[in-house]
């Protein structure tokens, strides 16, 4: 039974933006309670959530090019910056660093942004440059839901894979490094094949790396899905119990084979498909081809066949289930970015969502155009109005 009542989570207590989207400069101070940002469409609410999403590895919740994030008035080559002071309970230090610690909450300073004139993202942690974005997963854990994700179940598999990998990161921070290394080997192999270079020794090295990393990725996905099914089956108020599965050749192999045998099978498949992959580009087998399958548990139907409101409720249930898992395993629920999350939720589900967020102790950032939809939070939340890139505490 997952117990997460009252767990202490990560919290952004100061956020600073420079030349980011519509903000020439913004400094916002908050506490660990849920943060509600309300205002008209286009006021700049989602831009704040996007800035927060850059505190995690990846391309942010909009998957934008770094040049597109720069404030328009500054020009395409200009830099931008996001900085945050993140408070972490002692449990976070034990989990994220692996070292024993005790006492009150600690703090970490994170800075990230675009290097001028390039598509390179710089990361600094406590003033020191990080070797890669993947280091962010060692100090932060962030999940998000956006209106664009309302199409998650009807669009292609790529979006569902990204969603699943974001869930895996909350349980296994090394997943980002493994996925990055796998993608690098995948691109390098494709480049060699496209150029007609069939050096079996070098291709063999790349395919060995892909086999090892690919099986590790698939294993982590299967473990995460198993935990999520357990969490969702316990029920989260009026939200439906989601049932998840990973569909893919590597994941299927792990259901029947030990990991060394699954690696050997993937390695042999890659070697056998070189000629075909040279013509098509990429690789026809591997975890980059996998898909996340989701069913609405109450109706026992694929999520893509459900109504928009039911799909939103299923997504919320998955994210809350993941937050429960992290709180239970590490005493550390993630930061949640919930953009327009109340749009398709009735009052009963809105109240259940707010109650769950507060019980988890997760700092959540919620946006909406109608402040009244968040009234049930009352003093449990902190409220800000956003108007033309100006943020004011209510």
In this predicted model, what pLDDT tens digit does every residue of 314-326 receive, in sequence order? 999 999 999 999 9
Q: Residue 90's pLDDT is what?
A: 63
pLDDT digits (tens, 9 = 90+) for 371-393: 999 999 999 999 999 999 999 99
Distances (CA, A) of 6 to 35, 351, 356, 360, 361: 17, 17, 10, 6, 6
Is 339 in contact with 147 (CB distance < 8 Å)?
Answer: yes
Residue that the structure tokens 């075909």 belong to: 276
Q: In 3-state terms, what secondary structure has residue 319?
A: helix
- What was the pLDDT predicted at 240? 92
Residue 327, token pair as written in the block: 């709180």
Residue for token pair 């309300």: 38
- Condensed to tens digits (0 to 9), the pLDDT of residues 157-211 reads 999 999 999 999 999 989 999 999 999 999 999 999 998 878 889 999 999 999 9
- The second-level CATH assignment, the architecture, of 154-305 is Up-down Bundle (1.20)
| Amino acid 92: pLDDT | 52
Per-residue pLDDT, averaged over 247-260, amounts to 96
**How many residues are recorded in the chain?**
394
Q: pLDDT for 119-136, tens place per residue?
A: 889 999 999 999 989 899
1-150+336-394 has CATH 3.40.50.1100 classification: no
- Compute the distance between CA of residue 56 and CA of residue 77 in angstroms, rounded to an integer: 23
* Gap between the Cα atoms of 23 and 370, Å rounded: 22
Query: With bands split at pLDDT 50, 70 and 90, how would you rate the model's confidence at 8?
Result: low
pTM of the model: 0.89
What totals of helices (H) and strands (E) does the chain contain, helices first? 11, 15
Q: Give pLDDT, residue 105.
A: 67
List, for residues 16-38, the tens digit of each pLDDT value: 999 999 999 999 999 999 999 99
Structural domain spans, the chain: 1-150+336-394, 154-305
Average pLDDT (267-280) is 95
Name the phi and psi angles at 119, rounded to 5: -105, 30
Asked whether the domain spanning 154-305 has the same topology as the one spanning 1-150+336-394, the reply is no
H-assigned helices in 64-199: 66-69, 90-97, 157-171, 175-194
Give the single-character DSSP code of 120: P
């Amino acid at each position: 039974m997952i117990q997460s009542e009252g767990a202490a989570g990560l919290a952004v207590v100061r956020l600073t933006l420079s030349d980011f989207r519509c903000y020439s400069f913004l400094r916002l101070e908050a506490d660990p309670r849920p943060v509600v940002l309300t205002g008209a469409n286009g006021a700049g609410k989602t831009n704040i959530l996007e800035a927060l999403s850059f505190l995690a590895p990846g391309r942010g919740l909009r998957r934008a090019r770094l040049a597109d994030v720069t404030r328009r008035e500054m020009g395409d080559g200009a830099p931008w910056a996001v900085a945050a002071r993140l408070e972490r309970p002692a449990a976070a230090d034990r989990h994220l660093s692996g070292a024993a610690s005790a006492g009150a909450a600690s703090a970490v300073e994170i800075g990230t942004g675009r290097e001028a004139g390039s598509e390179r993202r710089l990361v600094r942690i406590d003033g020191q440059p990080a070797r890669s974005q993947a280091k962010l997963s060692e100090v932060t854990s962030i999940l998000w839901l956006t209106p664009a994700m309302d199409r998650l179940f009807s669009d292609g598999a790529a979006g569902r894979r990204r969603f699943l990998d974001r869930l895996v990161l909350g349980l296994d921070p090394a997943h980002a490094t493994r996925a990055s290394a796998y993608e690098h080997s995948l691109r390098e192999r494709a480049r060699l094949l496209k150029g007609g270079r069939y050096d079996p020794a070098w291709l063999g090295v790349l395919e060995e790396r892909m086999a090892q990393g690919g099986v590790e990725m698939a294993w982590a996905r299967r473990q995460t899905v198993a935990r999520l099914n357990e969490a969702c089956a316990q029920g989260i108020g009026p939200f439906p119990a989601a049932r998840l599965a990973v569909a893919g050749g590597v994941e299927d192999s792990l259901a029947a084979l030990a990991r060394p045998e699954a690696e050997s099978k993937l390695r042999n498949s890659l070697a056998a498909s070189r000629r075909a992959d040279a013509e098509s580009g990429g690789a026809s087998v591997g975890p980059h081809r996998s898909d996340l399958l989701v069913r609405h548990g109450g109706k026992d139907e694929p999520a893509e066949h459900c109504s928009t409101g039911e799909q939103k409720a299923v997504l919320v249930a998955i994210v809350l289930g993941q937050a429960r898992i992290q709180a239970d395993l590490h005493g550390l629920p993630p930061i949640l970015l919930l953009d327009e999350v109340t749009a398709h939720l009735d009052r009963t589900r809105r109240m259940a969502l707010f109650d769950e967020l507060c019980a988890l102790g997760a700092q959540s950032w919620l946006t909406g155009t109608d402040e009244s939809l968040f009234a049930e939070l009352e003093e449990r939340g902190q409220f800000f109005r956003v108007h033309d890139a100006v943020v004011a505490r209510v």
